Amino acid sequence: MIHLVYVFKPTVKARANVAEFWDWVRARDLWFYDGLDMAHDPRWYVRTIGPEVHALEHSISFEDEAAWGTYRAAVALRSKEPDWERRRTEQEQWWEILEARILSDAPVPRRATLRRSRTDVA
């Protein structure tokens, strides 16, 4: 798997309008990834410790490099449509991109984390 990871710093507007910001993020995810079936498992995290406290981390995953390349080509094609590109770039009202990186899975099996209650532990 390939994982595209972004770190965003919310703008003053986003920090002043938190509920509106998260509504925008949810709507943007639905709009942006619509029809991009090669993109899987979008995730959002809020940093609470470390550099850029309260920054956001967003990841999207792809089966392999070919799927990531197909995604990049589709986004590039969409960006040529003025209305689509206008909507995409409205993100600058809400966040600043601090970092972007690509991660790939290591050759170690992925395990599901077991969640146990205190009563399950003997």
In order, the DSSP letters of 11-38 are: -HHHHH-HHHHHHHHHHHHHHHTTT-TT
- Per the CB < 8 A criterion, the answer to whether 54 and 48 are in contact is yes
**Would you say residue 103 has pLDDT above 80?**
yes
pLDDT for 33 equals 96
pLDDT for 50 equals 79
pLDDT for 115 equals 65
pLDDT in tens, 13-72: 999 999 999 999 999 999 999 999 999 999 999 998 877 888 999 999 999 999 999 999
Q: Is the pTM of this model over 0.85?
A: no
